Chains A and B, each alone.
Chain A
């Protein structure tokens, strides 16, 4: 019973992140790109499939020869790291853009016109 509840929660979380990614892409949010949508879809659909069909991992274990516990840990770790990296990339992108905008505003505000006469000094 607990197993089913946990899998349902994980499935719902995956659906939530997936729909959020799709929604941002459809709204043409500033940092939404095809690459991010595809990457996000691959991850969250994988999580969703595994939450509905957990026995898929046995098949993967059998094919790759992983121990069950190791396989689960690696997968969970991968998902967590993926989320963190994506989040960091978005933050970095936003920050870079903000810095450039500020630098540009400052440059335009302080634009000077240097006459030909000044160059002769």
Chain B
């Protein structure tokens, strides 16, 4: 997919951070959300949007206590896809030129964001973080599930990536305006890839670190085998 060069190469290291918005969908992230926000602030990201997806715990309060963020709350749980979309709508309203999807469970390393943003500055529309270039530490079951997800994505939508379920992604404004996902829950990650293919957006992958914390592994809602199967059925029905 051909990329368009919107930014000059000399601007690569100096993308206007004021136009970069980090969107964090948060559900049951009370143990980790404050730390995630603090880490992003330390890396210099001031425009952080947290969308609490109807968490029954104190996710909202913890995010509020962290401060230095835009905070939204879904009155009922609607799923990660819905929360991401709400966050992106907020980012567009606030004038974002680049939006970063970042998980709230502490799995991602904020230092990786800069490497993805550099690719946007080079002209790519979407940059996907991939955990599979160095999957050390990733549970074996997750690796297998990821490979299956990659094959399914390729078969259904013709786009082959090494980590179809990665939550760390960066979008240009053009991509934000064109990507129109319908899935509220776990079909979201794959649906984004479908939209990339449909809109012929330029995309590349950048290796990222993965941090498997006790919290991210113990979360009640995870992409287990049954959920994966449901996701596959929903994807097929939505073609």
Measured CB to CB, the residues of A under 8 A from B are: 33-36, 96-97, 99-100, 103-104, 106-108, 110-120
Contact = CB atoms under 8 A, between A and B. Distances in A.
Contacts of A100: 78, 82, 184
Given A97-B182, A103-B76, A114 B71 contact: yes
A115 B66 CA distance: 9
A104 B85 contact: yes
A8 B201 CA distance: 50
Given A103-B74, A107-B74, A119 B68 contact: yes
B50 to A, nearest CB: 9
Given A99-B76, A114-B63, A119-B68, 12 more contacts: A33-B238, A33-B239, A97-B182, A104-B74, A104-B78, A107-B72, A108-B86, A111-B70, A114-B69, A116-B68, A117-B67, A119-B66
**How extensive is the interface on chain B, given as a class?**
20 to 34
B75 interface: yes
Interface in B18-65: 51, 54, 63-65
B114 to A, nearest CB: 22
B93 A110 contact: no
Nearest to B236: A35
Q: Classify the interface of chain A: helix, strand, loop or mixed.
A: helix
A119 B72 CA distance: 16
Contacts, number: 73
B78 A103 contact: yes
A88 B239 CA distance: 19
B90 interface: yes
Contacts of A103: 54, 74-76, 78, 82, 86
Interface string B206-235: 000000000000000000000000000000
A71 B85 CA distance: 49
Contacts of A111: 70-72, 90
Interface string B81-110: 010011001100100000000000000000
B73 interface: yes
Contact of B67 (A35, A108, A118): A118
B237 interface: yes
B86 to A, nearest CB: 5
A100 B86 CA distance: 10
Contacts of A36: 237
Contacts of B85: 104
26 contacts: A33-B239, A35-B237, A35-B238, A100-B78, A103-B75, A103-B86, A104-B85, A107-B51, A107-B72, A107-B74, A108-B90, A108-B93, A110-B73, A111-B72, A112-B71, A113-B71, A114-B67, A114-B68, A116-B67, A116-B68, A117-B67, A118-B67, A119-B64, A119-B65, A119-B67, A119-B68
